[in-house]
Copies of this chain bind each other. A is one copy, B any other.
Amino acid sequence: VTEQPLRIGIAGLGVVGGGVVTTLQQNAGLIASRIEREIQIVAVSARNKSRHRHLPLGDATWCDRAVDLANHPDVDVVVELIGGSEGVARELCETALKNGKHVVTANKALIAHHGVELAQLAESQRRVLAFEAAVAGGIPIVKAFREALGANRFHRVAGILNGTCNYILSAMQHRHQDFETVLAEAQRLGYAEADPSFDVDGIDTAHKLAILTSLAYGSAVDIEGVHIEGIRSIALQDIIFADQLGYVIKLLGIARETEQGIEQRVHPCMVPSHSALAAVEDAFNAVEVEGDATGKMIFEGRGAGAGPTASAVIADIMDIARGSWYRPFNLPADKLQKRNRAAMDDLEVACYLRLSVIDRPGVLAEITSIFRDEQISLHSCLQRARMPGSVVQVVLTTHETRESALQRAVKRIGALDAMTDSPRLIRIENL
C-alpha cells in the first residue's frame, strides 16, 4: 500500500450506511490489499448522531448537514445514502460534483429522475458518478452493462428488481396466503415499509428499470416512459391458477428496443415454472439479459439489505480508488438520446384472464364472442366448481395478441351483466 488513502464522506447511516461502515472495517485489510490503497472515512452525516455510537467511525468528522460533506476539503468521494429524488440527496450530489468530488450513490430515485444531468456534471468535471448499488443490490449489473457486456446489442432486459415484491409473491405462492396477510407479516418483519406503495406499486422497480434501459440502449433515462402496474391486484387465486397452468407470478421490469422505440414496462407477469426467473425466491433479485453475442445470461443475488448494498457501494469506491474513470451511462451524457416510446397499446403479448361470472347459460358464449370480435385467439380455458347460478371463476389464456385488443376485450367483458367482479388480467412472458 503506497498511495495516499482515499478519503470518503458518508451521508446517511441507516441500514445501508451502517453496512458500508461495518464492511469497510471488517474487510479493511482485504480491501486495501486489492486496491493497494486504504479507504478512510473522514466525515459522516446522519440525522441522529447519538444513534450511531456503536459504528466504528474512528475520528471521522460529524457534519450537521449532509451538504457539508460536499464542501469538506478532505473528502475525495461523497457517498450518498440518504435517498429520495429531490431535496438533501440531490443537493448533496450536485454540490459534490460541482466541487470536484466523486459521488457514489445507492439512490435509484435520484438517478432515475436526474441521472442524465448529474452525469453531465460528472463528465464536465471528469469525476465519477457511480450507482451500482441503485439497481439490484449486490448484483453487479450496472458494471455488466457498462463494461462486461459492451460487445452486445441487447434483445431484452428483464428483471426481478424489488425484493419486497418478490418476497410477498413467493410467500403467497408457498404459503397460500393472500396479499394483505403476507404484506402485514412482511411489515412486521421489516421486509416492507409502513407505507409499502413505493415497492408494491412498482415504482421502485420502475426506477431501477429506467436506469438499466438507459445503460442497455444508450437512451436518456426516461422514468416517465415506464408503464407501471404493481402487485396489489394479485389474488391468491391467480397464483394457484398460475401454478396449475405451469406458471409462476413475478413482478418484472422489462425493457426492449422495438421498431416503435423503447419499450419499458413494470407489471406482474406469469413466467414458465421451469424458467430461471421463476426459481428466484424470497427477497432475491435477478436480471436476465439477452445479448446478440452472449445469448441469455442471468445474474442473481440479494437485491437489498446492508451487506449486499454495501458490497456494491464499496466496489464503486474501489474503482475510484484504482483511478478508474468512466461515463456514468457509458455513452457521453449529452449523446444519450431521447427516444420514442413504444406505446403499450402496440405490445404483442399473451395473457391470462380470470373472470368471476355467474354461472348461467350463454355466459361463455358472450365472452368468447367478444374475443372473436377482437380477433383474439384463445389458448386455454379453465372453469372450476360449476354450480348453476353461483359465481364461478373462468380462467382463459390467450395466444400472443395486441395489448389494445386485449384492453378493449377486458373492458367489454367487464361490462357484461354476468360479471361479479372486474376481470383480472396478467400478462404471460415466455422467457
Q: Which residues of A pack against B, CB within 8 Å?
A: 19, 23-24, 26-27, 30-31, 33-36, 132, 137-140, 143-144, 147-153, 218, 274, 276, 279, 291-302, 305, 307-308, 310-312, 314-315, 318-319, 322, 324, 326, 330-332, 335
Neighbour of A276 across the interface among B138, B279, B297, CB < 8 A: B279
Beta-carbon nearest neighbor of A218 in chain B? B33
- B322-A308 in contact (CB<8A): no
Q: A293-B27, A302-B295, A308-B294 are in contact. Are A140 and B151 (CB under 8 A)?
A: no
Q: Which residues does chain B contribute within 8 Å of A299, judged by CB atoms?
A: 297-300
Contact, CB under 8 Å: A153 / B27: yes
A138 touches B311 (CB 8 A): no
B322 touches A326 (CB 8 A): yes
A138, A148, A312 — most chain B CB neighbours (10 Å): A148
In the complex, what distance in Å separates the CA atom of A36 from the CA atom of B332?
A: 9
Assess the B294–A301 pair: CB atoms within 8 A: yes
Decide: A33 and B331 in contact? CB cutoff 8 A.
yes
Q: For chain A, what secondary structure do more than half of its interface residues adopt (helix, strand, loop), or is it mixed?
A: mixed
Q: Complex formed: what's the CA distance from A153 to B315 in Å?
A: 13
Q: Are A315 and B147 in contact (CB under 8 A)?
A: yes
Chain B residue numbers with a CB within 8 Å of A308 are 293-295
Q: A27–B152 Cα gap in the complex (Å)?
A: 7
How far apart sit A201 and B31, CA to CA, in the bound complex (Å)?
A: 36
Q: What are the residues of chain B within 8 A of A19 when measuring CB–CB?
A: 293
Q: Is the CB of B151 within 8 A of A314?
A: yes
Residue in chain B with minimal CB distance to A20: B151
Are B30 and A153 in contact (CB-based, < 8 A)?
yes
For the complex of A and B, the 9 pairs showing the least CB-CB separation, nearest first, are: A140-B148, A151-B314, A138-B294, A297-B301, A293-B311, A294-B311, A293-B307, A298-B300, A150-B318
Closest to A39 in B: B151
Enumerate 24 A-B pairs (CB-CB under 8 Å) in ascending A order.
A23-B151, A26-B292, A34-B150, A34-B218, A138-B293, A138-B295, A138-B297, A140-B148, A140-B149, A143-B147, A148-B312, A148-B315, A151-B318, A293-B307, A293-B310, A293-B314, A295-B307, A295-B308, A296-B301, A297-B301, A297-B302, A298-B298, A299-B299, A322-B326
Tell me how far the C-beta of A87 lies from the nearest C-beta in chain B, rounded to whole angstroms: 28
CA distance A311 to B154 in the complex (A): 12
A274 contact set on B, CB distance < 8 A: 279
Q: Are A331 and B34 in contact (CB under 8 A)?
A: yes
* Contact residues in B for A307 (Cβ distance below 8 Å): 292-295
